[in-house]
Structure 1
């Protein structure tokens, strides 16, 4: 009888342990290399070239913690803390001094109903990443929209659905957290994706409002509409993207109220360790603000599953009154070429994930 009681007690203990089991994972990426850019403004009416040591050209250097606790019946408590940093000086990426500037989330995950989280997160417009031939590198689809599609957002509620017959849905809402000013600084968006063995499609809408609750900057506080497609053909992946941005509250005619961004590219997985990319990006800003086209080539070579070398070169050609850079930088930065001038940029580096 005693043996049966002991056995029953052990079984109950094992069941309790399994029901409450949890996991915490440390992960990250470290990325560094060298960069060249020409036609940078020198502040005195001339231009100059620059060679520099750079971190994060291929992808942001970061570290994070993520984990879950099994609550039973397919339900988990989840969290994610993630910080970005500049490898070359160790500083926080956004300069705000916040520790977890990319993600600081807690929530619940259900195998049946999906995942709901609260906290700071990458803004939903980062969803263009999967359809960018250069995966939002320093020179990429972010360049000709001045980084409009890679910000973070605080005070968010995020929902990620399970996969339903190839479809999945993402929704995000970012509160202003200001009494009596519901719209001021508010953000929101929704994303629908369909994934098949041979192709993937995505539609996305988002909006970012300024501190007065208005859409006043086409590349910062605006509405954004995105459609993208990936086609998988053995060793080739063909990527297509279109983004329309609207800032109806921008004071025309001095400031642009809309812009259209297109791209097409291909990735070729030549061998198990070597791949090459090529893409063309184009932005048009109606209302006499001009246009720009960027051409880009890149390659990666894997040393292991977690470490690889990379190299990328890009060239942007601006119309007479535009000054886009090959990099995703604000319009007032001296790293933009003078209006009507072209710019070439290149970088090489090494990236390691853990």
Structure 2
């Protein structure tokens, strides 16, 4: 009996010791305010906003010490609309992250599950940090999707360099995507997705090169803003109170079967000045040019932020997008009017999109408060 008691006590102590080294963190951010936009097809609009500066979200992340510097880790994260309490646009629980993996300071971090796509790596180089009006706008959301069934790796830093890679399986019988390949529905289904990025950081300089690809249900690059290859080169320069950010992106889709564009060039430049520890101002712009008569557009923007504390700040953003005669890019990361994202080509769907009419401009702004916890 005494041996059983000693063994049980040892197991209990070991269990308590293990739990003492575990950690689970609840975190999130809440963004809300007021938005105004004119140049919509049906005129101007005022509305309450949730997520214009940054997606409102909450999440759980945790780790368990496995010894030797290795930890088991997990991350669960969901976006939501604070104005209505609804979950994010996909309606899924943990629609942003649902990951489990291992991390070690020597060999890096490996995770599996649902994740933001690697193209979101432009966030670090976007002067407007992927606000509602940002680097995603003129590529119609191409650089901020999520992927399921993904395998992700992030290396440690070696002499200023670090590497990240991602591969997302389609989990379908034909490997690429939809098992009913060749049908219109298959063309609207995401197949395999993959990407890699390398970053160099030293002192005032940060440079990143990124390649990513998203295939349709047939394994093809059939839509410039949905199923395509993307090449990105980006740079950050920080001098005292000044931060300069610039990037160039090239998009290519070589299997477009309709009259849509097959190539696009997207670039941006922004400057941030930190007036005081609490107040900052950013000015900048984005430009895109697409082939096959898709035209070009330029988005000009400015944002002011004021920190009320380390976790709460006020924001004010104003922007305008100017379209050439054949272009109809929106301030928002809006799909084309004939996009399969609407699941219809009806005139009602076109009318309800946030794109302006071709050749028309769009101007808007939003202001609010963001709190992080």
What's the offset of the Cα at 1:334? 2.7
Q: 1:103 & 1:181 partners in 2: Cα distance?
A: 23
Aligned residue runs from structure 1 range 87-166, under 5 A: 87-95=82-90, 97-166=91-160
What's the offset of the Cα at 1:213? 1.2
Q: Is the 8 A contact 1:69 1:78 kept in 2?
A: yes
Q: 1:136 & 1:217 partners in 2: Cα distance?
A: 22
Q: 1:13 & 1:183 partners in 2: Cα distance?
A: 49
What's the offset of the Cα at 1:15? 11
Structure 1 range deviating more: 134-143 or 172-181: 172-181
Q: 1:14 & 1:287 partners in 2: Cα distance?
A: 66
Output one character per residue of 1:108-127: Cα deviation in whole Å (capped at 9) or x when no partner.
00111000010000000000
Output one character per residue of 1:27-61: Cα deviation in whole Å (capped at 9) or x when no partner.
0000000000001112xxxxx10000010000000
RMSD, aligned CA: 1.8
Q: Is the 8 A contact 1:122 1:153 kept in 2?
A: yes
Structure 1 range deviating more: 221-230 or 182-191: 182-191
Report SS of the residue matched to 1:271: coil
Residue aligning to 2:360 = 341
What's the offset of the Cα at 1:173? 0.3
Does 1:229 find its partner at 2:235?
yes
Aligned with 1:201 (options 207, 210, 215): 207
Inter-CA distance 15–177: structure 2 relative to 1 (3 Å threshold): closer
Inter-CA distance 19–326: structure 2 relative to 1 (3 Å threshold): closer
Q: Is the 8 A contact 1:27 1:63 kept in 2?
A: yes
Q: Is the 8 A contact 2:320 2:363 kept in 1?
A: yes
Output one character per residue of 1:132-169: Cα deviation in whole Å (capped at 9) or x when no partner.
00000000111100111100000000000011111111
What's the offset of the Cα at 1:236? 0.6
What's the offset of the Cα at 1:20? 6.5
Q: Is the 8 A contact 2:204 2:237 kept in 1?
A: yes
Q: Is the 8 A contact 1:20 1:69 kept in 2?
A: no
Q: 1:340 & 1:287 partners in 2: Cα distance?
A: 16
What's the offset of the Cα at 1:180? 2.9
Residue aligning to 1:45 = none
Report SS of the residue matched to 1:209: strand
Structure 1 range deviating more: 279-288 or 174-183: 174-183
Residue aligning to 2:218 = 212
What's the offset of the Cα at 1:182? 3.6
Aligned with 1:320 (options 318, 325, 345): 325
What's the offset of the Cα at 1:196? 1.1
Residue aligning to 2:17 = 17
TM-score after normalising by structure 1: 0.92
Q: Is the 8 A contact 1:74 1:111 kept in 2?
A: yes
Does 1:85 find its partner at 2:80?
yes
Residue aligning to 1:304 = 309
Output one character per residue of 1:189-237: Cα deviation in whole Å (capped at 9) or x when no partner.
0010011111100000000011111111101110000000000110011
What's the offset of the Cα at 1:77? 0.2
Aligned with 2:262 (options 228, 250, 257): 257
Q: Is the 8 A contact 2:322 2:360 kept in 1?
A: yes
What's the offset of the Cα at 1:13? 5.2
Residue aligning to 1:269 = 274
Does 1:291 find its partner at 2:296?
yes
Listed as ranges, the gaps of 5+ residues in structure 2 are 1-5, 179-190, 338-351
Output one character per residue of 1:250-269: Cα deviation in whole Å (capped at 9) or x when no partner.
126x1100100010011111
What's the offset of the Cα at 1:14? 8.1
Q: Is the 8 A contact 2:169 2:175 kept in 1?
A: no
Paired residues, number = 339
Q: Is the 8 A contact 2:229 2:251 kept in 1?
A: yes
Inter-CA distance 104–19: structure 2 relative to 1 (3 Å threshold): closer
